[in-house]
Amino acid sequence: MDDRLARATLMRVAEPGDTVMGRLVALRGPQTAITQIRAGIADPELVRWFATVHHRPTGSQRPRPPSSPDERRARVTTRLDRMITTWAARLETADAARDLTDGERVGARLVTPGDPEWPTQLDDLGDGRPHALWLHGDADLRFSCLRSVAVVGSRAATPYGTHVAAEFGAGLGGRGWGVVSGGAYGIDGAAHRGALACGAVTVVVLACGADVAYPSAHQQLFAAVRAHGVLVSECPLGAHPTRLRFLVRNRLIAALTRGTLVVEAAVRSGALNTAGHAVTLNRHLAAVPGPVTSDTSAGCHRLIRQGRATCVTTPEEMIELVGAMGADLAPEPRGPVLPRDLLDPQTRRVLEAVPARAGAGPATLAVAAGVDLETVLSCVGYLAAAGYIERVSKGWRLRVHRPAGD
Amino acid sequence: MDDRLARATLMRVAEPGDTVMGRLVALRGPQTAITQIRAGIADPELVRWFATVHHRPTGSQRPRPPSSPDERRARVTTRLDRMITTWAARLETADAARDLTDGERVGARLVTPGDPEWPTQLDDLGDGRPHALWLHGDADLRFSCLRSVAVVGSRAATPYGTHVAAEFGAGLGGRGWGVVSGGAYGIDGAAHRGALACGAVTVVVLACGADVAYPSAHQQLFAAVRAHGVLVSECPLGAHPTRLRFLVRNRLIAALTRGTLVVEAAVRSGALNTAGHAVTLNRHLAAVPGPVTSDTSAGCHRLIRQGRATCVTTPEEMIELVGAMGADLAPEPRGPVLPRDLLDPQTRRVLEAVPARAGAGPATLAVAAGVDLETVLSCVGYLAAAGYIERVSKGWRLRVHRPAGD
């Protein structure tokens, strides 16, 4: 059984992100791993590692400390044996050869570590690195992700959120940055569409098989992505999305990109899970602020308040964050310069003192403005010339149609 | 001439925030200062200080360096002499005694440093400290500002901005915090009204005389503030607002409070001037985020991006920032805990594997969920009891009316 076939098999045997299997493969390579599983052997090296890292199924409660070393060893082996039994059970039903032909039939390609299209940044995932990826689409995954950003957020997005996500998708895509997301409703979809709208490359990382379009209402979107981008999945063909697969998928979105942008997220949102992965992987994390009256922005604001995410308001600012230092600086937002601002402070003070209707003489202006007479005389000359004021019988007054002030 | 009368006079002689006059008063006291001005004497001490600090009228271009020490000395004295001439001119027209009686007539009171009602935090302004303040209203200024926050923002506020400003005004006031602002249209007015709405104390710092209601459309608001708070002005009675006075007034708003909150501000806004004063005075600075599509929030977002302002979304968060450390902590925003989340990961995996209609046996579930048979058997028992799944002829399937999941 060759490496590709072995890895295709492992996709069926272990759940995505299973770090124990990842470790076994890292230790012995995919083929040996499968042989061991079939034979029901617990690799001694793996047992040692398993024991040292106190490996526990993700998130489960910490068990009571073992009473003796023996009990400890026993526990570890039992837990590991259970896993191997599980893997073995799945191994029996796995048929990688058929998967490869099926993939070919639907037009998907299997990419494994070492292939030119393999995105090496996934190595940052360590033992959690996928065994292989199913890709479906014309774009080259590695190239698409060299300069890419993840744009994620709530499925239950507001019109504001979807508008902003689309703007960022288009703005990033238009500046040559790939837009990576999960292809879900709301923010994800809007970001992909924004990128597509300006003919840019976009990458959808699925939580299901590359041949399973989920959500099915995004059939057309996925078709467009296959034409101008690429669909990515670490699940076997035909696999259906589960909550766990969504969470595990998010680490890929974070790992593939230089940074993650959260556009809209409630304080409880899958997008925050992706944000967490981005931080763990030392990727940049940014969040778009929104109305404080909107619950779907509360998650973004919390990330900003905690100092975990940079507050980003434009695609340029996002590019400045993830781009090459100095090379991709965003323009500082500036207001218009008003003619009045070009006046030096003394002249401005005199102008302030000039009445609207009545008209006042230089002496009065001097006292009112708090400057001396000579200054007043030189200023009024300038101000009249600049069209701010005009001479009337009783002295000087503001002109009706003077240059706009703020 | 007593101290009060002298200070009342100085209010007419120098523009608010004139640090040169401030320095003179600091050196010689108000009475002597006036005597010197009337006599046209440039105090030698003041000349020395003036020369050392290279004092220039605020914001004016830096003049070409003096060619010789003599020219330098000459320049300084000329500039200082000019100022004294200006002050003298105003001194002639000043009539503090009448001001005091006028103030009494309109119901305003003059408060000077040393008075019990004087807010000593104004000493942080150094030479820019006001000589005295005209107060108009029933509240005690010093007490009102002990635990107070400045809520400022654009006059041209959006409905979002005014809504949020009112919410903060009420939220802060309701928690015993004084709300200080400029009484302008938009954010200022909304903040004052919010505080008044919950019977809290609010302070309006005017850029005009305490007897001049500006903007005049806020007559009623100011009447309400006089009844439940206090109007503050460092300008002489009858003084009209000028752009410079607005800018100088802002330093008082910042200095009176523990922190400044910018609710809405374009990248060019007087509110950012107040923000700058807050930073200079080592007060807390916070900004409320808003839609990135709104120019009136761009100034707030820039402050947050620059790390100058803390991102604040609720009154509690503002109080946490300016309040006593530990004593005024804001609650972390949390989402609801969903029953599904109470399941341990293995049970959740099994639940994910249970089909919606057909029904599947434990062995199938074990393979699908990637757990061993015993685990499945224990989990389905629990899940059935918890009402997630039900037994059917072909095994287990999801119940239609199961507890809500996310």
Number of structural domains found in chain A? 3
> Cβ A298–B366 below 8 Å, yes or no?
no
Would you place residue B332 in the very low, low, confident or very high pLDDT band (cuts 50, 70, 90)?
low
> Cβ B311–A311 below 8 Å, yes or no?
yes
Q: What is the pLDDT of residues B368-390, one digit of tens each?
A: 888 888 888 888 888 887 778 88
Q: Answer yes or no: do B239 and B358 share one domain.
A: no
Residue A113 lies in a domain: no
> Cβ A298–B333 below 8 Å, yes or no?
yes
Q: Answer yes or no: do A302 and A354 share one domain.
A: no
Listed residue (B325, B260, B265) closest to B295, CA to CA: B265
> Cβ A267–B291 below 8 Å, yes or no?
no
Q: Is B398 helix (H, G, I), strand (E, B) or coil?
A: strand
Task: Give chain A's mean pLDDT.
Answer: 90
> Cβ A86–B310 below 8 Å, yes or no?
no
Q: Which positions in chain A touch B302 (Cβ < 8 Å)?
A: 332-333
On whether any CB of chain B is under 8 Å from the CB of A371, the answer is yes
Give the best residue of A162, A301, A329 to mutate against chain B (max B CB count within 10 A). Answer: A301
> Cβ B305–A298 below 8 Å, yes or no?
no
Q: At what angle do helices A373-385 and A362-369 cross, to 10 degrees?
A: 100
- Burial of residue B174 (number of CB atoms within 10 Å: 0-12, 13-18, 19+): middle
On whether any CB of chain B is under 8 Å from the CB of A160, the answer is yes
Domain that holds residue A26: 3-94
Residue B242 lies in a domain: yes
Q: Answer yes or no: do B295 and B198 share one domain.
A: yes
* pLDDT average, residue stretch B77-94: 92
Q: Which positions in chain B touch A85 (Cβ < 8 Å)?
A: 372
Strand A310-311 to strand A284-287: parallel, antiparallel, or no bridges (unpaired)?
parallel
Task: Give chain B's mean pLDDT.
Answer: 90
Question: Among partner residues A242, A302, A372, which is closest to B86 by beta-carbon distance?
Answer: A372
On whether any CB of chain B is under 8 Å from the CB of A89, the answer is yes
Q: Answer yes or no: do B10 and B155 share one domain.
A: no
> Cβ A346–B243 below 8 Å, yes or no?
no
Q: Is B365 helix (H, G, I), strand (E, B) or coil?
A: helix
Would you place residue B405 in the very low, low, confident or very high pLDDT band (cuts 50, 70, 90)?
very low
**Nearest chain B alpha carbon to A371:** B86
Q: Which positions in chain A touch B304 (Cβ < 8 Å)?
A: 289, 304, 311
Residue B111 lies in a domain: no
Q: Answer yes or no: do B187 and B283 share one domain.
A: yes
Q: Which positions in chain B touch A60 (Cβ < 8 Å)?
A: 344-346
Residue B178 pairs in a beta bridge with: B148
- Decide if pLDDT at A370 tops 90: no
On whether any CB of chain B is under 8 Å from the CB of A355, the answer is no
Q: What is the pLDDT of residue B404?
A: 44
Stronger pLDDT, A312 or A56, i.e. the higher one: A312
* CATH code, A291: 3.40.50.450
Q: Answer yes or no: do A236 and A304 share one domain.
A: yes
Q: What is the pLDDT of residue A69?
A: 76
Would you place residue A325 in the very low, low, confident or very high pLDDT band (cuts 50, 70, 90)?
low
Q: Answer yes or no: do A28 and A88 share one domain.
A: yes
Return the minimum-mean-pLDDT range out of A185-189, A314-318, A367-371, B95-99: A367-371
Q: Which positions in chain B touch A57 (Cβ < 8 Å)?
A: 345-346
**Nearest chain A alpha carbon to B293:** A164
Q: Which positions in chain B touch A243 (Cβ < 8 Å)?
A: 348, 352
Q: Answer yes or no: do B188 and B46 share one domain.
A: no
Helix residue ranges, H only, A198-344: 219-228, 243-256, 270-280, 298-305, 315-322
> Cβ B267–A334 below 8 Å, yes or no?
yes
Tokens of A41: 């052997």
**How many of the other CB atoms lie within 10 Å of CB of B118?**
17
> Cβ A160–B371 below 8 Å, yes or no?
no
Residue B161 lies in a domain: yes
Residue B328 lies in a domain: no
> Cβ A302–B266 below 8 Å, yes or no?
no
Query: Rounded distance, CA A176 to CA A206, Å?
Result: 23
Stronger pLDDT, A73 or B293, i.e. the higher one: B293
| Interface subset of B 257-276, CB within 8 angstroms of A | 266-268
Stronger pLDDT, B391 or A129, i.e. the higher one: A129
Q: What is the pLDDT of residue A94?
A: 95
**Nearest chain B alpha carbon to A163:** B293
* pLDDT average, residue stretch A286-310: 97
Q: Which positions in chain B touch A371 (Cβ < 8 Å)?
A: 82, 86
Q: Answer yes or no: do B355 and B384 share one domain.
A: yes
Element (H, E) at B395: strand B395-398
Q: Answer yes or no: do A154 and A187 share one domain.
A: yes
* pLDDT average, residue stretch B108-120: 96
Highest mean pLDDT (candidates A265-279, A349-363, B48-62, B357-371): A265-279
Q: What is the pLDDT of residue B58?
A: 46
Return the minimum-mean-pLDDT range out of A180-184, B34-38, B390-394: B390-394
Amino acid at B121: Q
| Interface subset of B 61-80, CB within 8 angstroms of A | 61
- Decide if pLDDT at A405 tops 50: no
Residue A329 lies in a domain: no
Contact A103, A11 (CB under 8 A): no
Query: Rounded distance, CA A231 to CA A223, Å?
Result: 9
Amino acid at A280: T
Q: What is the pLDDT of residues A254-272, one digit of tens each?
A: 999 999 999 999 998 889 9
Query: Rounded distance, CA A127 to CA B343, Å?
Result: 26
pTM of the shown model: 0.80
Composition of chain B by helix, strand, coil, percent to 5: 50, 10, 40
Q: What is the pLDDT of residues A138-192, one digit of tens each?
A: 999 999 999 999 999 999 999 999 999 999 999 999 999 999 999 999 999 999 9
On whether ipTM exceeds 0.90, the answer is no
Q: What is the pLDDT of residue A54?
A: 58
Q: What is the pLDDT of residues B315-328, one digit of tens each?
A: 999 999 998 766 67
Residue A104 lies in a domain: no
User: Could you tell me what percent of chain A has a pLDDT over 90?
Assistant: 69
> How close B243 comes to chain A (CA, Å)?
7
Q: What is the pLDDT of residues B132-149, one digit of tens each?
A: 999 999 999 999 999 999
Question: Among partner residues A289, A333, A372, which is closest to B82 by beta-carbon distance?
Answer: A372
- Decide if pLDDT at A337 tops 70: no
Q: What is the pLDDT of residues A347-363, one digit of tens each?
A: 888 888 888 888 888 88
> Cβ A372–B85 below 8 Å, yes or no?
yes
* CATH code, B354: 1.10.10.10
On whether any CB of chain B is under 8 Å from the CB of A163, the answer is yes
Q: What is the pLDDT of residue A404?
A: 44
Helix residue ranges, H only, A354-396: 362-369, 373-385
A153-175 residues labelled b (16+ CB within 10 A) or e (exposed):
bbbebbebbbbbbbbbbbbbbeb
Composition of chain A by helix, strand, coil, percent to 5: 50, 10, 40
Amino acid at A391: R
Q: Answer yes or no: do A219 and A75 share one domain.
A: no
Q: How many CA atoms lie within 13 A of A194 on its CB side?
A: 29
Q: What is the pLDDT of residue B31?
A: 97
CA angle, corner B224, sides to B221 and B226, nearest 5? 110
Residue B334 lies in a domain: no
CA distances from A212 to A129, A223, A239, A242 (A): 22, 12, 7, 13
Tokens of B379: 């989990």
Q: Which positions in chain A touch B267 (Cβ < 8 Å)?
A: 333-335
Q: What is the pLDDT of residues A103-141, one digit of tens each?
A: 999 999 999 999 999 999 999 999 999 999 999 999 999
Would you place residue B62 in the very low, low, confident or very high pLDDT band (cuts 50, 70, 90)?
low
On whether any CB of chain A is under 8 Å from the CB of B59, the answer is yes
Would you place residue B339 in the very low, low, confident or very high pLDDT band (cuts 50, 70, 90)?
low
Q: Answer yes or no: do A59 and A204 share one domain.
A: no
Q: What is the pLDDT of residues B261-313, one digit of tens each?
A: 999 999 988 899 999 999 999 999 999 999 999 999 999 999 999 999 999 99
